[in-house]
Amino acid sequence: MADNRVRIFDTTLRDGEQAPGFSLKADEKLQLARALDALGVDIIEAGFPIASPADAEAVRLIATEVRRPVVACLARCRRGDVERAIWAIEPAAHPRIHTFIATSDLHLTKKLNMTREACLAAAVETVRLARQHTADVEFSAEDALRSDVDFLCRVIDAVVRAGATTINLPDTVGYSTPDEIGAFFRTVRSRVSVPDGVVFSAHCHDDLGLAVANTLAAVDAGVRQVECTVNGIGERAGNAALEEIVMAFRVRADRLPYTTGIETRNIFPTSQLLGALTGQGVQVNKAIVGRNAFAHEAGIHQDGILKDRRTYEIMRAEDVGVPWDPLVLGKHSGRHAVQRRCTDLGLTLTGDELVAVYRALMTIADERKVVSDADVVAVVQSVRTEARSRVDRFDTPVARA
């Protein structure tokens, strides 16, 4: 790969899916994995097989069906985890085992009750075991940003010698700042001796709203894999948002001269699919994919946009798959127009959904003459939420491991 090509490691189905309110069934995960394939991600982290039998089955299903990208799955540095991971990704065309252990003294003493030496030994042994089954092994040093850098470098040197091909250094708790993480990756890279093929990776959380800024700083410091999720979903405040990283590279190529394999026109449809499957939409002002991201209501802005879109738009809505032309849906519109608009917005409706959506939109049109894209998206979401809550009443939720 060219030196400025950044690999997109999507963990929507692992870090994202394990966040409260985002759990998905196996067929839904497969549907999303196919969308991520069409989006052009390089690596799909499909799950954490030891977490539950259902998670393991879903990883195996995706590994069987989705052939182009690397399919990865997570395993702690424990034999049982790795054996489960091996089983789950065994059918993959391009399997990766992603193994991790915490390296910070805080996690080692308080959480794992483990010495540094035991941690190092477990990491090396696990990477060796994983390498017996696939040539593509990623090692993550959990809480890397708060780890002792001398010890961290020892661990990296040792796991690379044991066969790890990607070294991921996560800011697990979203504590870092851009300057700090940039300096951190420069220091670590200068102090370890790793062969050329080994890729450094960043995994940033958004607890301070800095996940994307930190990710970009890490790339500037030589990282060539970024771990991210669609809509920025993930543990707590979430992970770095895939769409924001990719569009920062695209829009500010003058400052960020990096490329990805992402087909940007599939960004919005993938975001919508995730929202529909989880029942969790994004905030209206969310960058790139929020329903106001390309909306202009203030008169001065509308005037500018109509004269030249560049006055208030730094990227074109069409380039991220958001239909730009404001199609006027009114009370004279028919069901076909509604269905077409939904399709343009990346929302595929069932027959029953179309009936309910059409009825709700016509009520809005009676009051307000014109129906906006935002109305369409909101109505589809509320129709689906209602349908979901009807199903949930007959469906006892099952506790997850």
Structure tokens at 375: 């109305």
- Helix (H), strand (E) counts: the chain: 14, 8
* CB of 102 or CB of 192, closer to Mn ion: 102
Task: Residue 74: name the closest of 53, 51, 57 by CA.
Answer: 51
User: What is the β-pairing status of strands 95-102 and 7-10?
Assistant: unpaired
* Min CB(231)–Mn ion separation in Å: 15
Q: HSE on the CB side for 129, CA within 13 Å?
A: 20
Nearer to Mn ion, 203 or 296 (CB): 203
- Residue 143 vs 353, nearer CB to Mn ion: 143
Question: Given the structure tokens 């029942």, which residue do they identify?
Answer: 279
Work out how close the CB of 219 gets to Mn ion at its nearest, in angstroms, rounded to a whole number: 18
User: How many CB atoms neighbour CB 350 within 10 A?
Assistant: 10
To which residue do tokens 């506790």 refer?
399
Residue 144 or 262 with smaller CB distance to Mn ion: 144
Closest residue to Mn ion, Cβ-based?
A: 15
When the beta carbons of 236 and 310 are compared against Mn ion, the nearer one is: 236
CB of 41 to Mn ion, least distance (A): 17
**Which one, 16 or 275, has the nearer CB to Mn ion?**
16
Take residue 322 and report the two structure tokens written for it. 């958001």
Cβ proximity to Mn ion, 14 vs 224, nearer residue = 14
* Shortest spacing between CB 307 and Mn ion, in angstroms: 44
The minimum distance between CB 38 and Mn ion, in angstroms, equals: 24
x-or-dash string of contact with Mn ion, 81-120, rule CB under 5 A: ----------------------------------------
Report how many residues bind Mn ion under the rule CB under 5 A: 1
- Residue 109 is classified by DSSP as I
Instruction: Report the nearest approach of Mn ion to the CB of residue 15 (Å).
Output: 4
Assess contact for 382 and 347: CB atoms under 8 A.
no
Residues with Cβ < 8 Å from 275, sequence gap 6 or more? Answer: 231, 281, 282, 381
Retrieve residue 121's tokens.
């030994």
Instruction: Enumerate residues 6+ apart whose C-beta is below 8 A from 84.
Output: 49, 50, 56, 75
| Segment 4 to 33, residues that bind Mn ion, using CB under 5 A | 15
Q: What's the min distance (Å) between Cβ of 188 and Mn ion?
A: 19
Q: For Mn ion, give the closer residue by CB, 15 or 373.
A: 15
Concatenated DSSP letters for 247-291? HHHHHTTTT---B----GGGHHHHHHHHHHHHT-PPPTT-TTTST
Give me the least distance between CB of 100 and Mn ion, in Å please.
10
Contact 231, 241 (CB under 8 A): yes
Whichever of 15 and 244 has its CB closer to Mn ion, that residue is 15
Residue numbers 305-364 binding Mn ion by CB under 5 A: none
Q: How many CA atoms lie within 13 A of 66 on its CB side?
A: 31
Three-state DSSP state, 227: strand
Closer to Mn ion by Cβ: residue 15 or 143: 15
Between 15 and 353, whose beta carbon lies closer to Mn ion? 15
| Closest CA relative to residue 36, chosen from 224, 209, 367, 262 | 262
User: Quick one: which of 272, 241, 258 has its CA closest to 349?
Assistant: 272
Distance CA 73, CA 13 (A): 10
* Minimum distance, C-beta of residue 155 to Mn ion, in the bound complex (Å): 18
Q: Is residue 243 a contact point for Mn ion (CB under 5 A)?
A: no
Name which of 228, 224, 225, 179 is nearest 205 in CA terms: 228
Residues that bind Mn ion (CB under 5 A): 15
